[in-house]
Amino acid sequence: MTDAHRSALRHWLSDVRESRAPSEDEGIDPCGVHWRRHAEGVLELAPVEVGGTTDRYDTSDTNDEGAARHAKGVPRDPKAPDAKIGHRYDAILSCGIHGDETAPIEIVDGILRDIADARLTLRERVLVVLGNPDAVRAGKRYLHYDLNRLFHGAHAKHAESPAVQRARELEVIVAQFFAGVDGVRRVRRHVDMHTAIRASLFQRFAVVPGTPEHPPGDAWFEALAAADIEATMRTEQPSVTFSYYTCARFGAQSCTLELGKVAPFGGNRLEDFAGIDAALRRWLSGGEMAARDDGRRLRPKRFRVAAEIVRRTDAFVLDVPDDTPNFTPYPAGTVLARDGENTYTVSHSEERIVFPNPNVANGLRAGVMVVPE
């Protein structure tokens, strides 16, 4: 089969796992979806009647402003389909930012395969991102540096490396994507899917970033609730994660979804994530994430970030057992961390710890403390 007749959607994951570089960078899939390959593991998709992925732009600029400027320019192909018709969102669906977090990758792969097989009709313009191909092939969280600590310009503070290059590349692609192809501003939404390193009292939870300019609305929380998310944690703490970057820089409705625990390919219980899979399919096929087929309205626990525990020096100690689940509660007065003369003491009647990790580098977050909304 030639690349011209080969489904880019069906082979999205296998191309990455096999380090295959298809000869074609753009085309119309046999299922009738326009696609454009921006980089390894990164496909921009749009329905034929919507278009947007067949417009060719000069993307030689390597900064946000340059990429966005070209993306707003006049397409070279005057016969390109009109992107004003059809879709409501400029959507980003990302996974594999950490290479060993395979459940989200399998979820996205299943969605793309069903689109390719005409079992699911794509009605939105979407950028599908497999974040860290090298780490996926190695089956490791990351190889050089945690990619999810390199966004929002953080890559500029690190020595050049493949991870730094990838973060910079993804920022340029995202800027170009959100600039659009027709100058129309649509709702921007980014779902970044992960699996957790440790167990959690809530198996499926969402970190929902916001800024004073771009606070998350109730409708976004309702959409996540309908996806069987058991808990949400709202944060306005500046961050260098992928989802915070798209929220703060582009005003996107963003979230980091944590779905179960790390497992190898083929070792995930995907039925545990049927709710998020169904919600993504509703959304991408033109429906509403919040409109469950069974009509139920779920109410996950809602938390907000009260504080972050940051490791400052090599003297840092986190008084939390290694097997502590995410969202473990601690009463007021509990001393959880010591760093030289500094301590972290629980000040609310109860605080729960999320992402405890005493082994991070100095200057990085060693835990997040949340309280009920």
Q: Which residue intervals of the chain bear CATH 3.40.630.10?
A: 3-284
Q: For residue range 221-250, list pLDDT tens digits in order.
A: 999 999 999 999 999 999 999 999 999 999
Letter for the amino acid at 191?
V
22-33 average pLDDT score: 91
Percent of the chain residues past pLDDT 90, beyond the cut:
77
Residue-level pLDDT at 65: 39
Tell me whether residue 212 is exposed, middle or buried, using C-beta atoms within 10 angstroms of its C-beta: 0 to 12, 13 to 18, 19 or more: exposed
Whether 373 shows a pLDDT value over 60: the answer reads yes
Partners of 194 in the β-ladder: 258
Q: Is residue 190 a known part of a binding site?
A: no
User: What DSSP character marks residue 89?
Assistant: E
Q: Is residue 98 a known part of a binding site?
A: yes
What CA–CA distance (Å, rounded) separates 359 from 151?
Answer: 21
User: What DSSP character marks residue 100?
Assistant: T
Place of tokens 């944690």: 233
CATH architecture of 3-284: 3-Layer(aba) Sandwich (3.40)
**Can you read off the two tokens belonging to residue 98?**
């950490």
315-326 average pLDDT score: 96
9-31 average pLDDT score: 93
**Can you read off the two tokens belonging to residue 240?**
């260098």
Residue 35 backbone phi and psi in degrees, to 5: -135, 150
**Residues contacting residue 347 through CB under 8 Å, at least 6 positions apart:** 332
Residue-level pLDDT at 361: 84
Cβ atoms < 10 Å from Cβ of 349:
10
End-to-end alpha carbon distance in the chain = 55
Give the catalytic positions in this structure. Answer: 258
What CA–CA distance (Å, rounded) separates 139 from 265?
Answer: 9
**Can you read off the two tokens belonging to residue 81?**
């389909």
Q: Which residue intervals of the chain bear CATH 2.40.50.630?
A: 305-372
Kindly report the CATH number that applies to the domain delimited by 305-372.
2.40.50.630
Letter for the amino acid at 158?
H
Q: Is 304 helix (H, G, I), strand (E, B) or coil?
A: strand
Q: Is residue 101 a known part of a binding site?
A: yes
Instruction: Please answer whether residues 266 and 216 qualify as being in contact, where contact means their C-beta atoms are separated by less than 8 angstroms.
Output: no
Q: How big is the chain, counted in residues?
A: 373
pLDDT band at 48 (very low <50, low <70, confident <90, very high): confident
